[in-house]
Amino acid sequence: MKILITGGAGFIGTNFVYYMLKAHPDFDYVCLDSLTYAGNLKNLDKALEHRNFTFAKGSIADREYIFDLFARESFDIVINFAAESHVDRSIENPGVFLETNVIGTSVLLDACRKYGIRRFHQVSTDEVYGDLPIDRPDLFFTEETPLHTSSPYSASKASADLLTMAYSRTFGLPVSISRCSNNYGPYQFPEKLIPLMIKKALRDEKLPVYGNGLNVRDWLYVEDHCRAIDLVVMKGREGQVYNIGGHNEKQNIEVVKTILAQLGKPDTLIEYVADRAGHDLRYAIDPSKIHGELGWLPETEFSAGIKSTISWYLDNKEWMDDISSGAYALYNESEGKKYV
Ligand code: NAD
Ligand code: DAU
């Protein structure tokens, strides 16, 4: 079994690579990543020691490159993590989100059609459903919730989902989609809430909380997400969408205060700043489909997950420092050349 993992040098992709190498040590893996600012080739150092793991540097939006790769490798399964993933950046510069998230996904779908695969899996997000009101805790996103996006990021992810389903219906391509809530854990780029707040708190810098801090996210430990994707790809039904999340809703301010308390830092570091444009109020997943069909449930409680996440960032200060100094980008540039 040969698996293509795109976006494997980013946060969830890296965690997924290590999860799969352990869960299915007999498979062969190719990780494709264009090493944008969010990709970090050093994350994959230990994976590259495995003889059944190789890396390829290239963009999913580069049709010629992708078709050559598919012609050479004969993949059985393609799992697409590659994306521009940060909402704030999509507000600043939507164009690259369309290029990677929409065009890139369409190129992969075309390559899958041409060369044949057993499964194309699109890693999507709960943000495609828009948001839920804060004062209706009885409401959750199900797979039937209409797509209703708020940001250029979520609009681009929804477009990719629609294309994926269109290739299933029109061309009979064997696809699946998973839509997950907010992940946290090791290797997350420090532009996202949790690692950003850890980084700033450790440096005694102000922690910028958007708006009133009462927006709600449904936090999932990244390893639980990896296990869910593995299950959907291996055992989930073709042409289906599976929501992944776990009744673990927290207000942003609660998350920030938890981080400060764990690091022994004062709440006075919190600074309320201007709200994000179009800021989604609340995300909350109903995971009954994946639970009922595949037996999946999240295993990591937030209290334990946030503790081990903070420990990881404390134990891997060099990882964070390399990002702050830009050393990781120089490494990507020089070492990445070996894998073009
Ligand atoms: P990330 O930004 O940390 O990583 C994205 C990776 O994709 C990086 O390694 C980057 O270099 C690579 N990439 C970007 N453009 C590329 C291109 N054109 N070709 C090849 N590689 C490219 O993102 P993440 O948080 O790990 O998210 C991974 C996937 O999961 C995304 O599709 C995202 O939409 C989805 N998702 C994320 C979350 C979350 O909480 N982080 C939740 C649900 C779904
Ligand atoms: O729900 C899944 C999505 O979760 C993924 O699809 C996205 O790729 C991922 O980035 C994440 O999106 P969010 O916008 O929810 O994540 P972010 O970490 O950017 O923000 C989480 C919440 O914290 C959100 O309500 C905005 C707020 N926030 C964020 C930052 C970076 C702040 O208050 N201050 C900040 O500095």
Residue type, 229: I
Flag whether pLDDT at 328 surpasses 90.
yes
Query: Which pLDDT score, from 0 to 100, does residue 54 have?
Result: 98
Query: How far is residue 285 CA from its own chain's centroid?
Result: 16
Residue nearest to atom 14 of ligand 2 (CA): 87
Ramachandran category for residue 243: left, alpha or beta (phi over 0 → left; psi -120 to 50 → alpha): beta
User: For the segment 108-141, what is each residue's pLDDT rounded down to a tens digit?
Assistant: 999 999 999 999 999 999 999 999 999 999 999 9
Q: For residue 152, is pLDDT > 90?
A: yes
Is 267 a catalytic site residue? no
Nearest CA to ligand 2 atom 36: 208
Is ligand 1 within 6 A of the CB of residue 224? no
* Three-state secondary-structure class, residue 53: strand
C-alpha 186 to ligand 1 mean position (Å)? 14
**Which of 80, 81, 127, 196 for mutating ligand 1's site (highest number of atoms within 8 Å of CB)?**
81
Q: Is 127 a catalytic residue?
A: yes
Ligand 2 centre to CA of 232 (Å) is: 25
pLDDT at res. 334? 97
Given the residues 19, 33, 84, 126, select the one marked as catalytic. 126
Q: Which domain holds residue 72?
A: 2-187+219-248+279-301
Asked, for residue 285, whether it belongs to a domain, the answer is yes
70 falls within a domain: yes
**Overall average pLDDT of the 163-171 stretch:** 98
Query: Which of 217, 310, 212, 203 minimizes the C-alpha distance to 258?
Result: 310
pLDDT for 143 beyond 90? yes
Average pLDDT, the chain: 98
> Which of the four pLDDT bands, split at 50, 70 and 90, describes residue 78?
very high
The share of the chain scoring above pLDDT 70, in percent, equals 100
Please report, as a single letter, which amino acid is at residue 100.
Answer: T
What's the CATH number where 40 sits? Answer: 3.40.50.720
330 part of a folded domain: no
Q: Does some domain include residue 24? A: yes
What is the tens place of the pLDDT at every residue in 260-277?
Answer: 999 999 999 999 999 999
72 located within any domain: yes
User: Residue 246 has what pLDDT?
Assistant: 78
Helix (H) or strand (E) holding 31: strand 28-33
Residue 253 lies in a domain: no
Say if 230 falls within a structural domain. Answer: yes
Over residues 203-246, the pLDDT tens digits come to 999 999 999 999 999 999 999 999 999 999 999 999 999 999 97
**283 C-alpha to ligand 2 centroid (Å):** 11
Distance, CA of 260 to chain centre: 25
The total number of structural domains in the chain stands at 1
Tally: H helices and E strands in the chain: 13, 13
The conformational region for residue 320 under phi > 0 = left, psi -120 to 50 = alpha, else beta, is: alpha
Nearest ligand to the CA atom of 160: 1
Answer whether residue 23 is part of any domain.
Answer: yes
Q: Which amino acid is at 218?
A: D
Residue 333 has pLDDT above 90, yes or no: yes
Residue 95 pLDDT exceeds 90? yes
The best mutation among 86, 128, 217 to test binding of ligand 2, ranked by most ligand atoms within 8 Å of the C-beta, falls on 217
The pLDDT confidence band at residue 340, using thresholds 50, 70 and 90, is: confident
Q: What percent of the chain has pLDDT over 90?
A: 99
Distance 86 CA to ligand 1 centre (A): 9
User: Is the beta carbon of 15 within 6 A of some atom in ligand 1?
Assistant: no
